[in-house]
Amino acid sequence: MDGNKRIKCIAERYNFFGGGREMLHRLVVAFSVLTVFVGLSAGLAKADSVDASTVATVQSFDFTFVPTSGATYTWSVVNPVPATSQIPNDSFILDNVSYMVGTTADTGLLKFFSANNGGGFILADDASATSYILDEFGPSVYTGPEAAPTFNTGTFTFGNTAAGNSSPAGTLTIAAVTTTATPEPGTLLLTGLGLVALFWVARKRNFVTPA
C-alpha cells in the first residue's frame, strides 16, 4: 500500500476529515453531561453537609414567659449568648435586653442562675439588678460555662417560693431560631451552564438538515 492510500485509510478509519462536525457535537454533549454531573454532585455534597450541620446553626433564642396572671413577657437573645458578666458555676448577666410586656416595650437586665445556685432567673429594670420585675425560682435553663452558655429549648415551669416575693409564677418557653443554608452560587452556575449547553445541542440537532 503506497503512502497516499495509507493516509486515506487511516483518515477514513478515524474519521479525521468527514467527522469534524460530528466530533464537535460529541465533545459538546460530553462536556455538557460532565458539567451537569459535576454541578449536581457539588449540590448534593453541599446538601449533605447542610443536613449534618444546619441543626447547630442557631441564630438566636426566643423567650416567652406566660405568668399565671398579668401580661406575657417576650424577648430574644442572640447566639452566641453575649454574657456581659458571669460568676463561674453560679450565674451570668445579660444587660440592655429589649423585651415586651404585652404590647409595651422596655429594656432591662436578665440574670440566669446555674443548677448549683438553685436555677431560675431574674428580670430587673436597672443595672444594679435590685429592682426585680420577675424573680422566678425553678430549673436552670442553660448548659455550658457561664462565659459561653447555651440555652436549653422547651417549656419550663417556675414558681414563687421566696417569702415576700410578689413575682408571679408561670411558664417560660425557649425556642431556637435556626437558619438553613442555600446552594452556593458556583454550584448553581455550573449546573446552569451544563443545562444551557444541552439545550443548545438539542436545538442544533433539531434544525440540522441532511447534506
Rg (CA), the chain: 33
Calculated CA dihedral for residues 194, 195, 199, 202, nearest 10 degrees = 70
Average pLDDT, the chain: 76
Alpha-carbon gap, residue 44 to 35, rounded angstroms: 14
Using pLDDT thresholds of 50, 70 and 90, give the confidence band for residue 131: confident
E-assigned strand segments in 79-178: 85-87, 91-101, 104-113, 121-124, 132-136, 142-143, 150-151, 154-158, 170-178
What is residue 132's predicted lDDT score, i.e. its pLDDT?
A: 87
Give the mean model confidence (pLDDT) for residues 111-122. Answer: 95
Using pLDDT thresholds of 50, 70 and 90, give the confidence band for residue 16: very low
Question: Would the pLDDT of 108 be above 90?
Answer: yes
Question: Would the pLDDT of 193 be above 70?
Answer: no
Cβ atoms within 10 A of the Cβ of 67, count? 19
Whole-prediction pTM: 0.61
Question: Would the pLDDT of 51 be above 50?
Answer: no
Question: pLDDT exceeding 90 applies to what percent of the chain?
Answer: 47
With the C-alpha atoms ordered 59, 79, 44, 194, is the resulting torsion angle positive or negative?
positive
Tens digit of each residue's pLDDT (9 = 90 or more) over 170-192: 999 999 998 876 555 555 555 66
What b/e string do you get for 154-187 counting C-beta neighbours within 10 Å, with b at 16 or more? eebebebeeeeeebbbbebebebeeeeeeeeeeb
